[in-house]
Structure 1
Amino acid sequence: MLTIGVYDCHMELRQLEYFLAVADELNFTRAASRVFAAQSTVSAGIRSLERELGGALFDRDPHGVRLTVLGRRVIDAARETLRAGERLHELADTTGGLRGQVRVGIFTNLTTIDLPGIMGEFHARHPLVDLLLGPSPSGSTGLAKDVRLGNVDVAFMGLPGRAPGLLHQELAVSPFVAVLAEDHPLAGRQAVSLAALADEPFIDARAGFGNRVTLDRALDERGLTRRISTEVSDLGEIPRFVAARLGVAVLPALTVIPADGAVTRPLTEHIEWMLSAVSRPRPSAASAALLRLLAERFAQPSVVG
């Protein structure tokens, strides 16, 4: 395997981060979003790295982006070098305070969680740590992948069970509820069953979102099928689409943002959604500090020593 030595070239760790993001996404636009940079910046960083290594890392044509032979040769070494660089910065700090950055994968528009307050408290405790926050277009599935690949340090996740190879911090458990237009025939009931909703058009998040994965499993276990007529990329907006009478929804109560014209009703079935925070098995000191703060705020025992 090719080894990239820290002292063998003048490449920057940020360039390696750009390279790995493009290699994972095989798309410059998505890669730029993932690393919180402009696409032109990512492209320039890749070109600089290619000059440093003496060859192209990607083949680019109208059909897409693919790793070259050189790109495939150096990708594992690039991951190891990036992680080693992060660890080197931690060990070099003699101030006694944490520094660096934590890349955090988040859910958009989840106002039931005081994310600004949590991050504000983290900043007050660790002012030398930069926070980079961003979502994934494929929800919890994408966030878990981002953490596993090292593109994100800590991420919120709503998938059922545990993602293999990741450290989990359980934060909250929320029951699913039915979300209906206020004049829907079922809105007058005290509770609504999944069977009663199965023939209705559904509004849901995109494939890969943890709430959708959990609900689909619950429906499969009961031998029920449904038709999703409307997909929404922003989970918090779903009640507004329900109020517009585009369909019904079944969501974790914790994610429901009240909307005029929509009501919630308990399900007769008890289905739970788990909200967790995940990281790699050996998180950086700054990432571990954020996990501990999340444990404090959600009053759950921390899994990070």
Structure 2
Amino acid sequence: MDTRQAEYAIAVAEELNFTRAARRVFAVQSTVSAGVRALEKELGADIFDRDQGGVRLTAAGEEIIPRLREFLDAGTRALTAADPQGSLRGELRVGVFANFGPFDLPRIIGDFHHAHPLVDLRLRSSPIGSAGFAEDVSRGRLDVALFGLPATAAPGLTMHPLATSTFVALLPTDHARAGDRHVPIAALADERFIDTPAGFGNRTVLDAALGRHGIVRDIATEIGETGLIPSFVAAGLGVAILPEMFAGDVPGVVKVPLDVQIGWELTAITRPQPTAAASAFVARLVPPA
């Protein structure tokens, strides 16, 4: 079996589009199509259904693609084993947030790159946050991703705990509740809120917790970068409730604990059998016990 053909098939499976797959593997579309056809002939099974509606994995393809990933990873591990220095190789695709909270993620990534220069490191974001990352890791488009949703939102994936935080209210300094030791969540029910878009882990967890108290918020402003939310609160555009690790210290904003404790956990997610590069990267993320 040709490794390049396996790379083509995996790219098509993840993109569900031959043109995008070809662009990703730096080949022309005809070469990718021919390579996938040759692989299907060798395997004696169609990996994809192709019609005017697009490209879809067949039932056989759903079984074959994970095996092709294992095939490529085995080749990478063999090269690492043969290297006297044991240098890691291969591609590593990581899903990251725009705001890193207490993590010096650029330094962690930089240290990993310097320690493993033969790993082709690719960083990706998701317009729908953790929900998108779960799909991307499940489908193999990412190897590792930061994740802010409960484990039930990532079935079949492995969770690597990184940090926990408690939600706090962010209020303008002139807000009537700014001087309270604790603010009742019911007292904020009618406020105009600033939050991340739907699908982001912190918003999903908070909405579920508030829903259990019968509270449905008016999200007046959605901001894709969590770190900017306190500045919008300072500008008087509304209030916010965020994990304290993302709340920051912004002039004109006070952090007030809620009257109920709502917890949030930051994890990294991988497939159950991550590549060697993914395992090494997660080891750098996970804080020492």
Give the aligned partner of residue 163 of structure 2: 172
TM-score, length basis structure 1:
0.80
Is 1:153 the counterpart of 2:146 in the alignment? Answer: no
Residue 111 of structure 1 deviates from its aligned partner by 4.8
1:107-163 CA-partner distances (Å, limit 9, x unpaired): 113253100111122233323222211111111111111111111111111112452
Residue 54 of structure 1 deviates from its aligned partner by 5.5
* Partner SS for 2:238: coil
1:173-227 CA-partner distances (Å, limit 9, x unpaired): 1010111122222212222121111111111111111101110111122122211
CA-atom RMSD, angstroms? 2.8
How far, CA to CA, are the matches of 1:224 and 1:99 in structure 2?
A: 50
Counterpart pick for 2:288 among 291, 299, 302: 299
Give the aligned partner of residue 268 of structure 1: 259
Give the aligned partner of residue 187 of structure 1: 178
1:6-37 CA-partner distances (Å, limit 9, x unpaired): 23x96361x334312322xx798xx78xxxxx
AA matched with 1:50:
S
Go from structure 1 to structure 2 and tell me whether the alpha carbon gap of 1:260 and 1:46 turns closer, same or farther (over 3 Å shift).
Answer: farther
1:233-258 CA-partner distances (Å, limit 9, x unpaired): 11211112212222111000112233
Is 1:49 the counterpart of 2:38 in the alignment? Answer: no
Residue 263 of structure 1 deviates from its aligned partner by 2.2
Give the aligned partner of residue 138 of structure 1: 128
Give the aligned partner of residue 303 of structure 1: none
* Partner SS for 1:186: coil
CA contact (8 A) 1:186 1:192 kept: yes
Give the aligned partner of residue 16 of structure 1: 9
Go from structure 1 to structure 2 and tell me whether the alpha carbon gap of 1:194 and 1:284 turns closer, same or farther (over 3 Å shift).
Answer: same
Counterpart pick for 2:87 among 97, 107, 128: 97
How far, CA to CA, are the matches of 1:44 and 1:124 in structure 2?
A: 29
Residue 47 of structure 1 deviates from its aligned partner by 4.5
CA contact (8 A) 1:107 1:139 kept: yes
Counterpart pick for 2:231 among 210, 235, 240: 240
How far, CA to CA, are the matches of 2:23 and 2:179 in structure 1?
A: 54
Give the aligned partner of residue 224 of structure 1: 215
* Partner SS for 1:217: helix
Go from structure 1 to structure 2 and tell me whether the alpha carbon gap of 1:10 and 1:113 turns closer, same or farther (over 3 Å shift).
Answer: closer
Percent of pairs with identical residues = 40
Is 1:81 the counterpart of 2:68 in the alignment? Answer: yes
Is 1:289 the counterpart of 2:280 in the alignment? Answer: yes
Structure 1: gaps spanning 5 or more residues:
1-5, 33-38, 301-305
* Partner SS for 1:292: helix
Go from structure 1 to structure 2 and tell me whether the alpha carbon gap of 1:143 and 1:41 turns closer, same or farther (over 3 Å shift).
Answer: closer
Counterpart pick for 1:257 among 215, 238, 248: 248
Is 1:196 the counterpart of 2:183 in the alignment? Answer: no
1:272-296 CA-partner distances (Å, limit 9, x unpaired): 110111111111111111122222x
Go from structure 1 to structure 2 and tell me whether the alpha carbon gap of 1:226 and 1:283 turns closer, same or farther (over 3 Å shift).
Answer: same
* Greater mean deviation of Cα atoms: 222-231 or 203-212: 222-231
AA matched with 1:127:
P
How far, CA to CA, are the matches of 2:118 and 2:164 in structure 1?
A: 32
Residue 87 of structure 1 deviates from its aligned partner by 2.4
How far, CA to CA, are the matches of 1:107 and 1:135 in structure 2?
A: 6
Go from structure 1 to structure 2 and tell me whether the alpha carbon gap of 1:268 and 1:282 turns closer, same or farther (over 3 Å shift).
Answer: same
Residue 79 of structure 1 deviates from its aligned partner by 4.4
Go from structure 1 to structure 2 and tell me whether the alpha carbon gap of 1:22 and 1:46 turns closer, same or farther (over 3 Å shift).
Answer: farther
CA contact (8 A) 2:9 2:36 kept: no
CA contact (8 A) 1:167 1:281 kept: yes
Structure 2: gaps spanning 5 or more residues:
39-47
Go from structure 1 to structure 2 and tell me whether the alpha carbon gap of 1:42 and 1:174 turns closer, same or farther (over 3 Å shift).
Answer: same
1:73-95 CA-partner distances (Å, limit 9, x unpaired): 77433443234212222123311
AA matched with 1:19:
V
* Partner SS for 2:167: strand
Runs ≥4 residues deviating over 4 A? 39-47, 53-60
